[in-house]
Structure 1
Amino acid sequence: MNMNYPKFRKSAELFGVICGGLLISMPAIPQALAQESTPKINPCPRIFYEEPHNNQVVVPQGCPPNALTQRLAAQGLLPVPATPSQEQTNLGVGGETPQPGVRVPGPASGDQTQQPSPGAVSTEQPPLLQPRQTPSATIALANGTVNIKLVNDTATNVTFQVIGDTAPRSLAGKSDVTLQGLKAPVTVTFEREDGGQLIVTPQASSEPGNLNVTFNEATNAAQGRSAMRIEPNGSVFLN
């Protein structure tokens, strides 16, 4: 019995060390899991790229540009959208981990491309739109300003806005309104409230500094226009 006692004591001590180590390491496991499960907030949520926000909301600096951000940047109303940060690239649009087949705009050195899977939808943004080379009309400005008469020949309301000058306003069908004393360059956006497309026809008036713009219903999307830009030299571009 006396010879077996040291062996029993050593076994008991070893068992105590093992149990103590387990008790010390156990609190660290839930803490590590809690840290890994904490979600990261993405400043570029997916809703920015879904309708109607895609054509109504300007995304924050650093986010991939949506349709409205691209359109206004191409017109010189916004700075060129910055490259998304590495953290935003890792999160992807909407805050989720990029799925197979999704191409996320990466740093300037190149895009990160993953293998596509059946049914995957690409979130790659199209290149920035460029102003048309040939102006749709040319007017003589009056001391750098222009009066714009909007004529709605459609049967539905048209929402218009002078960017940086007025809030969105509604122009009833078969009516007109005149915007006076707008200083060039000036950008006017417009859309049919029923979601249809607009044919936009700008025409210089016989009086300097006056432009008539007529809205008609378009029969297909290729005819549709949603913005007009008047440059300081009097050139009128449609987009």
Structure 2
Amino acid sequence: MNMKSQKFRKSAEFFGAICGGLLISLPAIPQAVAQESTPKINPCPRIFYEEPHNNQVVVPQGCPPNALTQRLAAQGLLPVPATSSQDQTKLGVGGEAPQPNVIPLRPVPGDQTQQPSPGKVSTDQPALLQPRQTPSATIALTNGTVNIKLVNDTAANVTFQVIGDTAPRSLQGKSDVTLQGLKVPVTVTFEREDHGQLIVTPQPSSEPGSLEVTFKEATNAAQGRSAMRIERNGSVFLN
């Protein structure tokens, strides 16, 4: 074999090695790009902080509290809203990332009331002051559960939500609905969709472990109620 043939053979082998290396490394590039472009799941969409959700939906724990969450926490009906995580802070107000078509997640806050340590006030969470209150009713529970019948005697629709159990639902005027097998302690919120006030009257039903709650129109804000709490001992409190 002459000198020119040997040089041509070595050049061909060198060029083939370079092309082979490029072919091996190419599939990794689209995979890395695909991994970097995968969007983060947003647990705190901006819709939680816009009307009407701002005053009707309780945000999940870890999200910045909206108006309803702050109001219920101040009344002692919810745990103290946790501060937003570092990832949510990076996403912006309400954990909202700049991506379209965000679907709001179902809120699932905890159900145990947190109490501040005696003589110590947290610097990043407000202390809950829960004054003594006389129960509005008392029922005998069955295996730690309760059935609640909501009766809407008003002409307006009423939005209600079982915190940690159901999403907000609408109860039409002059109608009723029964919520079965709710584990206590349990908190139920309600609001007239026309933003009027509600007189709320809870009373034990003839069936064991059942409570009937009647909604009527209130004439002033002092009569209005927006939440009900049933404790493990069967005590029913209104706020």
- TM-score w.r.t. length of structure 2: 0.56
d(CA) in 1 for partners of 2:139, 2:229: 12
- Count of aligned pairs: 167
Matching residue of 2:187: 187
Name which one, 1 or 2, has greater alpha-carbon Rg: 1
1:137 is aligned to 137
> Cα distance 1:84–1:143, how it changes in 2: closer, same or farther (>3 A)?
closer
SS at match of 2:141: coil
The answer on 1:81 being equivalent to 2:74 is no
Q: How far does residue 76 in structure 1 lie from its aligned partner after superposition?
A: 6.2
Deviation digits for residues 17-66 of structure 1 (CA, Å, limit 9, x no counterpart): xxxxxxxxxxxxxxxxxxxxxxxxxxx9x997775454235387485x54
Is this contact kept in 2: 1:131–1:237, CA < 8 A? no
CA separation of 1:109/1:155 partners in 2, compared to 1, >3 Å: closer, same or farther? closer
- For 1:166, what is the secondary structure of its paired residue? coil
Structure 2 Cα separation of the partners of residues 82 and 160 of structure 1: 24
The separation in 1 between residues aligned to 2:123 and 2:144, in whole angstroms, is 42
TM-score, normalised with respect to structure 1 = 0.56
**Does the 8 Å contact 2:61/2:82 carry over to 1?**
no
Distance change in 2, residues 1:78/1:205 (3 Å) = closer
Which protein has greater RCO, CA pairs closer than 8 Å, 6+ apart? 2
1:169 is aligned to 169
1:5 aligned residue: none
The answer to whether the 8 A contact 1:159-1:169 is kept is yes
Q: Distance in 2 between matches of 1:73 and 1:170?
A: 23
| Distance in 2 between residues matched to 1:78 and 1:144, nearest whole Å | 19
CA distance in 1, matches of 2:173, 2:128: 32
Match in the other structure for 2:233: 233
Q: Distance in 2 between matches of 1:167 and 1:47?
A: 14
- The superposition leaves residues 57-99 of structure 1 with CA deviations (integer Å, 9 ceiling, x where unpaired) of 5387485x543223443566654235799xxxxxxx99xxxxx
Q: Is the alpha carbon distance of 1:131 and 1:211 closer, same or farther for their aligned partners in structure 2, counting shifts above 3 Å?
A: farther
The change in CA–CA distance for 1:165 and 1:66 in structure 2 (over 3 A counts) is: closer
Per the alignment, residue 155 of structure 1 pairs with 155
Which residue identity does 1:213 align to in structure 2?
Answer: V
CA distance in 2, matches of 1:187, 1:197: 19
Aligned with 1:151: secondary structure?
strand
Letter in 2 for 1:134: T
Structure 1: gaps of 5 or more residues? 1-43, 86-92, 95-106, 111-125
The percent identity for this pair of structures is 87
In structure 2, the partner of 1:178 is 178
Cα pair 2:76 2:130 within 8 Å, conserved: no
Q: Deviations for 1:124-157, whole angstroms, at most 9, x for unmatched residues? A: xx98573661111000001111111111100111
Give 1:109 shift: 6.7
5+ residue gaps, structure 2: 1-43, 86-92, 95-120
Match of 1:199 in 2: 199
Q: Structure 1's 48 and 234: CA in aligned 2 closer, same or farther, altered over 3 A?
A: same
| Amino acid corresponding to residue 211 of structure 1 in structure 2 | L
